[in-house]
Structure 1
Amino acid sequence: MNTPIRSFQVAVAGLDLLHHTRLKLACSLLLSERMDVAVRAWDGTPADVVVVHVDHADSRSVLADANAAGMATLRVSRRAQQALDGLLPHGATVRDFNRQVRHLLGAAAATPMHEARSDAGTAATPLLLQLADASGPAQLHLLQRGAMWLLLDTHTRSIALPAHITLADVCAQLDATSWSAQVMDPADFQHQYAYRLPQRQSLEALYFALAQHRPALLPSAPASLQLRHWPDLTAAEVPNAWLPAIARLHAGAYTVDTLAPHCRLPRATMVSLFSAASACGLALSPESALPSVSSRAPGAGRATAGETPFLLRLARRFGLGLSRGHAA
């Protein structure tokens, strides 16, 4: 599997046209390393790296603000004789900028600008998920971070993405603190942004992608659940090993500890699957007693026989070679 594309923002203060052009070219070359970098003017808002020419009149205040906010900085100075970590001489080449920005963004990705914590010390809910769970009238929310754009449609419970972006890419930076959002008029979105975001994915698919790639962002799993309906995703969007578990949850209610050993999945994986189903509103969570896979009440043989064709139909639908022995 390819490494997800990561989107970053580089803010600039005080660079002349030549250095600004070299920096932009250096950043564009990072796309080959699956780093999508947007270069913009410094406006005081969060960025992954702030590039400042120290001869600029406001350089001291810019650096002070960036350092106070914990942002990585790259200084350009006429007094520098050679490139050092976080420092480039005036006249730095595209290669010089490329090396420094790559290094600083690598450090930024490894340190938690994107691992935001709340005051209570628990993981903060990503902005996209906050908007998805918010009550109120259905709206279109245009979200942006660096070069990544996406649209949340709370009416259709879906997100629109650029054609080259996968749900794994979204999961990789979903909890970054530098996302911005604005409510869009449907006509304005169609006119200005629809062509940029031709791909549609359901929120259910996003939550199940989180179960694979970022389970820590999901809420706690319920003790038991049954699926209201089959999740709105394709077989390619979940591991094949998950399909029998999803099929059983679609057919009836189970606990994590009952279903995990039966489907030969790690308990942590099953917890993530339960969390995803619950978070996207698929869980029925019945209060009645739940069936046990290992020991069933009298008459359970008839239920098992009824489940077997159901699983086989799902197996054929998703191209799996599931025998009756495995399905039962």
Structure 2
Amino acid sequence: MPTATHRFTVAFAGLEPLPATRLKVASALLLADLLDIRLVPWTGAQVDLLVADGGAPEGVQAIRAAWAARLPVLTFSREASGRQGESELRPDASVRRIAEALKAGLAAGHAGQPGVNLRSLRLIDCLRLDRRDPGARRLLMELGLFRVVVDLVRGQLHMLRRMPLDELLDHVEDPRWQSTVLDEADWQRLYRDDVTTSQAIAPLWWRLAVRPTLALPVLPPARLQLAAWPTLDLANTPPDWLAVLARLRDEDYTLAELVIQTGVAPHTVRRVMSVVQLSGLALIDAQQGPATRARRGNVEARQPRALLRLVRRLGRRLLGRGQA
């Protein structure tokens, strides 16, 4: 039985001539993977993916609007590392890299939709909690001996076989995971009783993020705030991260503002902001700025200082630099 071709609409904004041309070629090549991609200029309408230049004013405006609408974004940036699996590409990225990034972005955005079974999926793309909605579904994910159910209804990862969690996390970036959408009847009848253990997905993102070689599949929004303090393993959490989280817990910030306020390196701040979003803990408001924040009361303004003192004490203990 022939596999159906899946049709997607991808918008672009602010692209330079070279990446724009290579994007067209990459989209055409993906027809071989049964992905029919229609490229359109960004207008703010609903699309499956936005491809934008993070250094161009038009691209930045489109990215902010897309994040506010919870749309997946693939960004070109001269500051990108060029590492495999990131949703940020250099302007000179090859056609092959662009095609791989397109496929990953579309897979992440549509993995939970019935009838959409892309040939290659990564488990890490299916664990995203930043685009949950009332229609979120359960996915059976299989790779070799690994069998898990990604339950976006409850925000949990159910293991169907006994396996070391760290070993499973070692394979989250493998693109060969096979996915099957489960309806409620199949979940209850075929898989629920086979669950050996369940893990909350949100803490897994923080466990993954401390791995320095892991590329996070998202660029953080222009501005965000932390909705609730995450569940962290303090012994393995860098103290710099705690300083960033303490600021974000009280009010919304941009990356540049956080760098100034905390003195933490930009790449570290970006990573923390990305995990806040991926773990579903982000309050995003692209329209809110310093003028809005300035109207908050003095009681709120005192909260980050207390948190920062706690962070500093924890940091000294973790690093063995002194006693609180």
TM-score, normalising length: structure 1: 0.49
TM-score, normalised on structure 2? 0.49
